[in-house]
Structure 1
Amino acid sequence: MARDIIDETPISSRDELVTWFEKGCKAPADFRIGTEHEKFPFYIADHTPVPYDGRRGIAALLDGMQKLLGWEPIIEGDHIIGLLDVTGGGAISLEPGGQFELSGAPVETIQQTCRELHAHLAQLRQVAAPLGIGFLGLGMSPSWTLARTPRMPKRRYDIMTGYMPKVGTRGLDMMYRTSTVQVNLDFSSEADMVKKLRMSLALQPVATALFSNSPFTEGRPNGYLSERSNIWLDTDNNRAGMLPFAFEDGMGFERYTDYALDVPMYFVKRGDTYHDVTGASFRDLLEGRLPQLPGERATVSDWSNHLGTIFPEVRLKRYLEMRGADSGPTSRICALSAFWTGLFYDQTALDAAWDLAKDWTEEERDTLRREVPRTGLRTPFRNHTLGDIARETLDISRAGLVARGKQDSFGDDESVFLGPLDGIVTSGRTAADDLLMRYEGVWRRSVDPVFMEQAY
């Protein structure tokens, strides 16, 4: 979530940065689940994107949500850019192209995160309906050009917009035309973090395949099942990808700290001002020799905000963020949280998932990362397909959820949320495959029906 942290505690050494990560370790009894999802606002009448300003714009939507929820508004300059639930820990924020994001509160069960999601969407519809606004759950906006896509009034996005074309060809598409779902999960120790990071990095292409849902660009099939994932292959490879160093001996908080220290920065925020420091490293700031801000020293805010501008397939903060899935309908948002929770929060399942992937080579992991956006579950792997790996992974996750024993009032455990994935692995057909079939069939080669059929 693009929301800046405020903590002006000074940081003077690399060791303090390592300690920052170490403080994320939690006892298993305190493990939580945080689900973030983005969606595209559009005008129901003509399927055009919703601008920030105007009587029926994004700002009016945020104002309405603030009045309904009573959440604290997040203001930048004269603009409302988000909302914060100071009691529960959830937040609403805006991505660069107006993608409307809920960052859910940390909760104990999939049932709770799913209830939170449904409550959010019901509240959002209550405010959006009088404005004529709907919301689309896809991994990429299906018809809007980059030029037609609105831009939100956030200074950090202005800085990124100027920098992205210098380091890749698809950065602006990533910023303005994609939507994702993320699941944030905890670790108990450095060793636990390393195992979970390695396992989830290796298996992230499985999630990308299962949740592929972005086959259209500018009104036509784009040749991919997950164009959102494909875009990341040439966005900014200094801060994206599969983190091959994570699989090397000696991986831990120190190694990730050294990686993050050398990832080019975007900005340093002082007060309400964003200073463009693109291209400089955090080492420069830590040592007080940042060319753009001579003598300025690092703070906890700087470190936390910088870590949020690093975009690997799995991101380490004081928890681990799963970043490989396209946005989709509510059932699949809940399914993604369930999928990873089952693999993370039962030791037997975690061991089995890592055993599944631990002998994969760097070349094999990278090949999956490159090929899956186009071929999904049909991607060849050794003597099988990724669909075979997905089926086995899903079975491991289910066993992990059953072992957790988190039941609802009907006696159902969290494994029921994996239901949408069962159909996908059985048929081998993802949501993207089904959308393409409908495009060629009942939609008569038009993407317009997607705004009705995939709206929340």
Structure 2
Amino acid sequence: MSLDLKGPAGLSEPITGKPQLVDYFRGAEKPRAEWKVGVEHEKIGVVDGSFEAVPYYGETGIRSILDALARDAGGAQHAHRENGQPIAVLKEGASVTLEPGGQLELSGAPHRSLRAAREEIERHLQVLRGISRQRGVKWLATGYRPFGTRDEVPWMPKGRYAAMRKSLGPRGRLALDMMLMTATVQANLDWSDERDLAEKVRAASSASPLVSALFANSSVIAGRDSGWLDFRYQVWRECDPDRCGLLEPMFRDGWGYESYVEWALGVPMLFVRRGSEYLDAGGQTFGDWLRTGRLRSGALAEPHLGNWVDHLTTLFPEVRVKTVLELRGADMVPPPYLHALAAIWVGLLHDASARQAAWELTEGWTFAQR
């Protein structure tokens, strides 16, 4: 999940209408010569010997690990804090952040080559292994926590997650499992213009279930074989149908920025952020807020561009558009397979003939078959 670093500050421009939201995506266009690739991956921490979830507090907890990562990065100034507690480490365009159940995520910097992305991951893992070994912590490369239940996993002290626990939890049987128990590896790519993005989105949506199957790595639940190869994929199917899964419009001719904006406007908000406070959105859609200028609580409040950016981070389709194209369907896997995920997506989506081949291979499938 995304790290709320600056929020509406710096994005305080009032939203005047849908064209402004379309322009947000158009402004992310880059010429091919400037395309980069980013890789994000999450790891599930366990106490060595017991396989219990790692707590946040304590000398061997997540907080201690983050403090050590900040020291390795150059000092405490690299730690991002909320209410005085470290919740992330930032350095040179990359960040190490916390998922709700203490999963540790490296959001790598954008790189010009896959080799550079791989080297960044390997450096991170080497440092993390040394820090964690001293604290009796190990990290699992798997798509779902294989031992224990979600009730045994401590929540990380982030206001965003407290708000989402309240608002997203009731929306799906496995929504809290998604937050506390799962881990992924994803690739982030650039696009040149609206047509290029549309082609990439359609090809990626076509191939995403197949890539998920290739990277299936979440078969064990509570220490037993679940009967699933990719239980994490099932978790997403029972999280929130309004904001998760494949999006049928992405397969249609004519899909573009405005199509994505229309879909996002119709999804209920999980919260509205005002400074460091997370307000209950009461299930109101962003589109309703934009039309009325009033929150469901009755308060008059003009939506700003920062609120739109927040909202986009709470949408979880397999193929997600922000200022990069995010390919989110794969389970976390160990190296070297971890590095292969980005290579697959770059090879498939950076070449027009490969994109077309992916579409032709699957265009006969109905949406229900995907």
TM range (shorter): over 0.9
Q: Report matched runs for 1:18-57 at 5 Å.
A: 18-57=22-61
Deviation at 1:353, TM superposition (A): 2.4
2:229 equivalent in structure 1: 225
Picking from 249, 253, 256, the partner of 2:257 is 253
Distance in 1 separating the partners of 2:17 and 2:275? 23
Q: Does 1:333 align with 2:338?
A: yes
Q: CA RMSD in A?
A: 1.4
Check conservation: 1:117, 1:330, Cα contact below 8 A. Answer: no
Q: Distance in 2 between matches of 1:79 and 1:10?
A: 31
Which residue number in structure 2 is paired with residue 121 of structure 1? 125
Q: Distance in 1 between matches of 2:193 and 2:323?
A: 11
In structure 2, what is the equivalent of residue 192 of structure 1? 196
Q: Which of 4, 8, 14 lines up with 1:10 in the alignment?
A: 14
CA contact (8 A) 2:93 2:108 kept: yes
2: distance between equivalents of 1:245 and 1:325?
21
Could you say which residue in structure 1 is the equivalent of 2:186?
Answer: 182
Residue 292 of structure 1 is matched in structure 2 by: 297
Query: Match for residue 82 of structure 2?
Result: 76
For 1:343, the equivalent position in structure 2 comes to 348
Letter in 1 for 2:83: G
Q: Pick from 86, 94, 99 the counterpart of residue 95 of structure 1.
A: 99
- 1:323: which partner in 2? 328
Q: What SS does structure 2 have at the residue aligned with 1:306?
A: helix
Percent identity over the alignment?
40
- What are the within-5 Å matches in structure 2 for residues 383-394 of structure 1? none
Question: SS at 1:131's partner residue?
Answer: coil
Q: Provide the rounded CA distance (Å) in 2 between the counterparts of 1:348 and 1:245.
A: 22
Gap change, CA 1:278 and 1:333, over 3 Å in 2: farther
Which has the larger Rg?
1
Match of 1:416 in 2: none
Q: Which runs of 4+ in 1 moved over 4 A?
A: none
TM-score, L = length of structure 1: 0.77
In structure 2, stretches of 5+ residues that fail to align are none
Q: Following TM superposition, by how much is the alpha carbon of 1:48 offset from its aligned partner in structure 2, in angstroms?
A: 1.5
Provide the residue aligned with 1:59 in structure 2: 63
Q: Is contact 1:73–1:80 with CA below 8 Å preserved after alignment?
A: yes
Shift of 1:130: 1.2
Higher helix share: 1
Mapping of 1:376-415 within 5 angstroms?
Answer: none
Residues 206 and 358 in structure 2, CA contact (< 8 A), matched pair in contact too: no
Displacement of 1:195 after TM fit?
0.9
Name 2:357's counterpart in structure 1: 352
Q: Is the 8 A contact 1:212 1:226 kept in 2?
A: yes
**Please, what TM-score do these two structures have when normalized by structure 2?**
0.95
2:173–2:238 contact (8 Å) kept in structure 1: yes
- Summarize deviations over 1:407-430 as a string: whole Å, max 9, x none: xxxxxxxxxxxxxxxxxxxxxxxx
Cα distance, 1:293 vs structure 2: 6.3
Contact 1:98–1:150 (CA under 8 A) maintained in structure 2: yes
After superposition, residues 430-445 of structure 1 pair within 5 angstroms as none
User: Is residue 167–residue 280 contact of structure 2 (8 Å, CA) maintained in 1?
Assistant: no
Question: Aligned-pair distance for 1:8?
Answer: 2.1
Residue in structure 2 matching 1:151, options 148, 152, 155: 155
In structure 2, C-alpha distance between the alignment counterparts of 1:92 and 1:50, rounded to whole Å: 16
- Higher alpha-carbon deviation: 208-217 or 248-257: 248-257
| Count of equivalent residues | 363
Paired residue type of 1:230? Q
Deviation of residue 108 (structure 1)? 1.1
Partner of 1:391: none
Q: Which deviations, in whole Å up to 9, do the C-alpha atoms of 1:240-282 show, x marking residues without a partner? A: 1210012224311001101001111111211111112141111
Q: Quick check: 2:203–2:356 contact (8 Å CA) kept in 1?
A: no
Identify if the C-alpha distance between structure 1 residues 293 and 60 changes in structure 2 by more than 3 Å, giving closer, same or farther: farther
TM-aligned CA deviation for residue 361 of structure 1 = 2.5
SS at match of 1:84: strand
- In structure 1, give the amino acid aligned to 2:274: R
